[in-house]
């Protein structure tokens, strides 16, 4: 049996001692080089799960194993990008990225760290802006610095919490394209939270759908069956795009609530294992659960 690169088993989190857990029984696996997006309604615990994966928060139960080691605290093995970019305002673009590079490789001389940082600044299309301070940058540029910084430490896993949430549609598209390019060039493993179903279909290999909280769970794993060569401009010409999109929207509008309310067979299946579905294709059948560790 193939072991997942990141393996999450039986995770739950309770913020109030005698209250219900925000999420419960969350188990999944992510292979090396896989891009996973998580979608679910506000409050189901997506950010909490991401923080647990980052080692910034402890679960109330369950374990996270990455590359055969249990995640017990923050590490430079995992790069995190939040919705607010959290740049150091007194440093330039270059200074912000170099700071991260020096934390990762403290023995590197300054010129080696700068050269390395510049490579990632170029990659996100910020060549020429190296000496600007965050206050002189647009929102999209700041977010790109955050992405360059996360990539520059060459993490084993990238954790993205709605990184484009605050960007206008045009800038969001440009930065999504940059991210897609870098991820396929570096075969980066990514766990990303988004509220945008089109963004998930563009970027993800698999989309995890979370039911509503409390006691939220990963209700379904949707395999993205669109061709790898999809682009933002052309993907909506493919009928498969709408099959996947309708499936995701139907989940958010109808099924996420039903599952939370504890609707019969659907919930029983979930407890056994997370269903893996390929919307619109033969074998699209949420009643055929597969082991999430293999998903």
> Which residues form the interface with ligand ATP (CB under 6 A)?
15, 22, 40, 42-48
Closer residue to ligand ATP (CB): 177 or 198: 198
The structure tokens listed for 74 are: 């923050």
Query: 293: how many CB neighbours lie within 10 A of its CB?
Result: 17
Phi, psi (rounded to 5 degrees) for 180: -60, -45
Q: What angle do CA 288, 291, 292 make, to 5 degrees?
A: 110
Closest approach of ligand ATP to the CB of residue 124, in Å? 24
Closer residue to ligand ATP (CB): 46 or 230: 46
Closest approach of ligand ATP to the CB of residue 8, in Å? 15
Q: Are strands 157-161 and 61-66 parallel, antiparallel or unpaired?
A: unpaired
Closest approach of ligand ATP to the CB of residue 195, in Å? 7
Residue with token string 């970027």 = 203
| Whole-angstrom distance, CA of residue 49 vs CA of residue 235 | 30
- Phi/psi zone of residue 262: left (φ > 0), alpha (ψ -120 to 50 degrees), beta? left
Closest approach of ligand ATP to the CB of residue 284, in Å? 26
Question: Is the CB of residue 8 less than 8 Å from the CB of residue 62?
Answer: yes
Name the residue among 83, 295, 86, 76 with its Cα closest to residue 204.
295
Closer residue to ligand ATP (CB): 44 or 93: 44
Strand, coil or helix: what is 191? strand
Closer residue to ligand ATP (CB): 1 or 17: 17
Closer residue to ligand ATP (CB): 210 or 223: 210
Closest approach of ligand ATP to the CB of residue 196, in Å? 12
Closer residue to ligand ATP (CB): 48 or 176: 48
Residue 46 vs residues 23, 42, 59: alpha-carbon distances, Å = 9, 8, 13
Closest approach of ligand ATP to the CB of residue 236, in Å? 25
Closer residue to ligand ATP (CB): 42 or 287: 42
Question: Is the CB of residue 175 less than 8 Å from the CB of residue 140?
Answer: yes
DSSP string for residues in 230-251: --TTTGGGSHHHHHHHHHHHHI
Residue 100 vs residues 155, 195, 201: alpha-carbon distances, Å = 11, 28, 31
Closest approach of ligand ATP to the CB of residue 172, in Å? 17
Closest approach of ligand ATP to the CB of residue 295, in Å? 21
Closer residue to ligand ATP (CB): 15 or 90: 15
């Amino acid at each position: 049996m193939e072991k997942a690169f990141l393996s999450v088993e039986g995770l739950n989190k309770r913020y109030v001692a005698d209250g219900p857990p925000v999420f419960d029984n969350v188990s999944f696996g992510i292979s090396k080089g896989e891009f996973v997006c998580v979608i679910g309604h506000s409050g189901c615990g997506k950010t909490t799960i991401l923080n647990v994966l980052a080692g910034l928060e402890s679960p109330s139960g369950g374990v996270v194993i990455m590359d055969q080691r249990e995640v017990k605290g923050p590490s430079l093995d995992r790069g995190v990008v939040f919705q607010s970019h959290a740049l150091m305002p007194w440093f330039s673009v270059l200074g912000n990225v170099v700071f991260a590079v020096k934390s990762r490789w403290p023995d590197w001389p300054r010129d080696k760290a700068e050269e390395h940082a510049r490579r990632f600044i170029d990659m996100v299309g910020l060549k020429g802006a190296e000496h600007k301070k965050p206050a002189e940058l647009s929102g999209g540029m700041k977010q790109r610095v955050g992405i360059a910084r996360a990539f520059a430490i060459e993490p084993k896993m990238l954790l993205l919490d709605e990184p484009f949430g605050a960007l206008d549609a045009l800038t969001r598209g440009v930065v999504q394209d940059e991210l897609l390019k870098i991820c396929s060039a570096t075969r980066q493993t990514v766990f990303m939270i988004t509220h945008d179903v089109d963004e998930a279909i563009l970027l993800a290999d698999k989309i995890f759908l979370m039911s509503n909280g409390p006691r939220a769970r990963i209700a379904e794993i949707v395999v993205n069956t669109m061709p790898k060569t999809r682009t933002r401009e052309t993907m909506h010409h493919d009928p498969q795009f709408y099959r996947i999109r309708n499936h995701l929207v139907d989940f958010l509008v109808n099924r996420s609530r039903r599952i939370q309310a504890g609707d019969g067979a659907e919930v029983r299946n979930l407890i056994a294992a997370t269903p893996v579905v390929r919307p619109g294709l033969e074998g699209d059948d949420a009643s055929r659960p597969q082991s999430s560790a293999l998903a």
